[in-house]
Amino acid sequence: MTATTDGGPGGEAARGTPSARTKTSGAIPEPASGPGTGGLSGRTEELAAEAARRATGHLLARQHPDGWWKGDLETNVTMDAEDLLLRQFLGIQDETVTGAAGRWIRSQQREDGAWPTFHGGPGDLSATVEAYVALRLAGDAPEEPWMAAASAFVRERGGIARCRVFTRIWLALFGWWRWDDLPELPPELIYLPKWVPLNIYSFASWARQTIVPLTIVAAHRPVRPAPFVLDELHTDPARPNPPVPRAPLSSWDGFFQRLDRALHAYRKVSVRPLRRAAMRSAARWIIERQENDGCFGGIQPPAVYSVIALHLLGYDLDHPVLRAGLKALDEFAVWPDKDTRMIEACQSPVWDTCLATIALADAGVPADDPALVKAVDWMLGEQITKSGDWAVQRPGLPSGGWAFEFQNDTYPDIDDTAEVVLALIRVDHPEPERVKASVDRGVRWNVGMQSKNGAWGAFDADNTSAFPNRLPFCDFGEVIDPPSADVTAHVVEMLAALGLEHAPHTRRGIDWLLAEQERSGAWFGRWGVNYIYGTGSVVPALVAAGLPAAHPAIRRAVGWLESVQNEDGGWGEDLRSYSLAEWAGRGESTASQTAWALLALLAAGEREGEAVRRGVRWLAGTQNEDGSWDEPYFTGTGFPRDFSINYHLYRMVFPLTALGRYVRGEPFGGLRKGA
């Protein structure tokens, strides 16, 4: 896979460093508002129209001949480190790949020696340990200045013993950590029925796909010879894992700590035939979910652990299952240049394509334009018609959703399905009945996935058990999939666009959204950063569903957005807002977050307001000559607080959507209600 034309990872500006790419003119000075400035609105519209024209041309030029769009999906260097560790474990090291990955990892190191999990963020202990080990595999000596700085950072923060469980599992594969000092994961978990707490379907889809293969790995406890020691990453190499005080038994943490110790004891007395049968059942579960392209779940963690698990069960690397799995992992590689290699955690063609289609339609590209028709053809071909894990909770529901990736038929998601439908109904396709049948299937599936509380999660219905998050093993991010405001808003907007705003399921979704509004007037953003994303998703949905712009919830949201607008006219929010309230709505201005705020304000009837005018002019003033925007900051969310994403196409699709709606004076762009 080659790097996309957005400059690629590593080609973007660092904090405080001007981009090498030429800007149109930077921030555009404006005269003060007041008497004699009546022409300012017209000038803003001209700037917006020209920016939208350039952005439209840039986005159209990036469409694949098959009809889809895909931007790079950048996360953090743990993806690259784990890829090298996997190759080391399997004995398939490649000098070219190792060198290219090492160059990428080094390029992401902070001045203090650490590695962050998002651009401009603080150093992260686990990411730093994994990056350090990967560079040792790439041949970097501990005495090198950048390596010494990294190991000092690790020791200052407690050493390997304070890393997340996933990092220590990778280290245990090479004897750098003891398996006895990791939480126990018995493969017999596969046999728990769904009514028993902590059965595999009580976990979110992404956690479930990861945990099942890890039960096999944990049962085998493999150790490959380590090519070097890691004493420099311990505060005391002679005592690498000091005991952790136990929480009181009366607390949930204390209960689950003791449950883990009981599972460790069970390992010694487990019935071996039962354990072997459980591992075979887990293997069947994994293989049944392998996609046509060889990947498992379409995301990196389940894929790498599935490959390791099956290899431990005797599948050699030439077995068709493993050969296809390793080939699929290679497809996650992006080469920004011939000497540098970055690993994507996932790929987002369906998501990128539906958002690009919406953006182009809302910017005024004719509804029957061949580019849009081709995009619809591709999306229609991606609709999923087979059952998946979601059917455990909804066994009688016919399939009809869309997934995020090229191949992921087991795990369609509600968010993609809603946005694909919103894209499909914007386009005049030569086979309208075919499109209508597809839309009807998608809507039926999404409505059927509504949770009991009236809202929608991402992949499953009613995936809300509080128990999985309590397990000592689950310190790597979200492991359940409860409903969120942003996903619910997208479903409500979809239903309203189809004239179903008064349907009972829509009204329940609206009621839930109104109840979830924060005291500030914002909404929490689960899958995008953060309150700006949530608010930018919910306000257009509520207005589309019939709430007047004067509704108190809408006015509070408008007031909050205006209060957090940056002095330069843009909007930005740092990922630290997930943990620290003072970061809510605060951060360097970005193109995607500015667009989200504008989408909400335009829907709320604020087109002529000063906040909208300033935001539009910020977008126009920061656009590159080729019609793109630079955005090194991460505005996508995998797991709040733990895993962040820079979707490289966000900087294009959302600004174009906002500019198009502003220029055309249509708060919902090219949408034809009831289509």
- How far apart, in whole angstroms, are the C-alpha atoms of residue 104 and residue 76? 10
DSSP 70: -
User: 116: closest CA among 74, 168, 177?
Assistant: 74
- Give, in order, the Cα–Cα distances in Å from 630 to each of 21, 340, 459, 527, 625: 8, 20, 31, 21, 11
For 573, the token pair is 């929010």
Asked if 541 contacts 553 with a C-beta cutoff of 8 angstroms, the reply is: no
- How far apart, in whole angstroms, are the C-alpha atoms of residue 442 and residue 421? 7
- How far apart, in whole angstroms, are the C-alpha atoms of residue 640 and residue 634? 12
Asked if 64 contacts 371 with a C-beta cutoff of 8 angstroms, the reply is: no
Asked if 539 contacts 557 with a C-beta cutoff of 8 angstroms, the reply is: yes
Residue listed under structure tokens 């630290």 = 576
- How far apart, in whole angstroms, are the C-alpha atoms of residue 237 and residue 216? 29
Asked if 91 contacts 326 with a C-beta cutoff of 8 angstroms, the reply is: no
For 326, the token pair is 């390793």
- How far apart, in whole angstroms, are the C-alpha atoms of residue 439 and residue 495? 11
Residue listed under structure tokens 């179903």 = 500
User: 465: closest CA among 183, 261, 202?
Assistant: 202
- How far apart, in whole angstroms, are the C-alpha atoms of residue 398 and residue 385? 8
User: 83: closest CA among 433, 376, 345?
Assistant: 345
- How far apart, in whole angstroms, are the C-alpha atoms of residue 37 and residue 48? 18
Any idea how long the chain is? Answer: 675
Q: What is the sign, positive or negative, of the torsion defined by CA atoms of 581, 550, 30, 48?
A: positive
462 catalytic per annotation: no
User: 74: closest CA among 456, 493, 633?
Assistant: 633
Give first-to-last CA distance, the chain, whole Å.
37
Apex 645 CA angle, 392 and 116, nearest 5: 125
| CB atoms near residue 288 (< 10 Å) | 8
- How far apart, in whole angstroms, are the C-alpha atoms of residue 81 and residue 549? 49
Strands 73-74 and 643-647, how do they pair?
antiparallel
One of 124, 415, 460, 568 is an active-site residue; which one?
415
Residue listed under structure tokens 């000596």 = 141
SS3 state at 192: coil
Residues belonging to the active site: 415
